[in-house]
Chains A and B, each alone.
Chain A
Amino acid sequence: MTYLVLDVVFIGVAAVVVLAARAAGVPVRLRAVAWTVAVLAVMTIVFDNLMIAAGLFEFADEHLVGLMFWRAPVEDLGYPVAVALLLPAVWSLLGRRRQREA
């Protein structure tokens, strides 16, 4: 469960930044985020498996919930979900002064 808990914490932080962007009047385009997550998720599963097969990294099984896509743990999908939320939100927040001036 440890890896899953770690995911929830970091995704939580990313979600807070998304809410901050909404509060600042420069919301993230959630449909674009959803499409981004979909593409990233597929790529993550494919490349994770290749990378694990190449021996680039390993996991301690006791920290995983056990749901795997072949050799890739489901928890690895936490990274693409978090960045797909966090990065557009930071981009939006950085653009807000420009919008006010415009």
Chain B
Amino acid sequence: MSLAYAGALLLSIGGMVVLDHRHRLFFFADAVRAAVVLATGVAFLVVWDLVGVGLGIFFRGQTPFMTGLLLAPELPVEEIGFLTLLCYLTMNLYAGFSRWLRRREDAGRAERVR
């Protein structure tokens, strides 16, 4: 039970990898660039989290679904997994929407030329 949250996160990240691979969205478009973007995003969000904890805004809850391992006061290890998922999802969505919008623009331009 204590691995439930971690398991759900891993499963979701796996889903992101599948989508990324299928459509060449992020790591499968440019792995090095993606690694830097992901690392930047996670670092940025961890700092945000820690400031929030420091200001007394958030707390981790009492739950059987987490391992109880902490990276910092009130910051569970699972949070890194969550932030990674959020960043990966964001870039998959952005890449997907960018491509879709560009295709619509190109199709629109082709129509007008005709």
B interface: dominant SS: helix
Determine how close the nearest CB of chain A comes to the CB of B95; give it in whole angstroms.
Answer: 8
Tell me the dominant secondary structure on chain A's binding face. Answer: helix
**Is B66 an interface residue, CB under 8 A from the partner?**
yes
Q: What's the interface size class on B, roughly?
A: 20 to 34
A87 close to chain B: CB less than 8 A:
yes
Enumerate A43-63 residues with CB–CB distance to B below 8 Å.
43, 52, 54-60, 63
Q: Which among B62, B66, B94 is the interface contact of A36 at CB below 8 angstroms?
A: B94
Q: List B residues at the A interface (Cβ < 8 Å).
A: 5, 30, 33-34, 36-37, 40-41, 44-45, 48, 51-52, 55-63, 65-66, 86-87, 89-91, 93-94, 97-98, 101
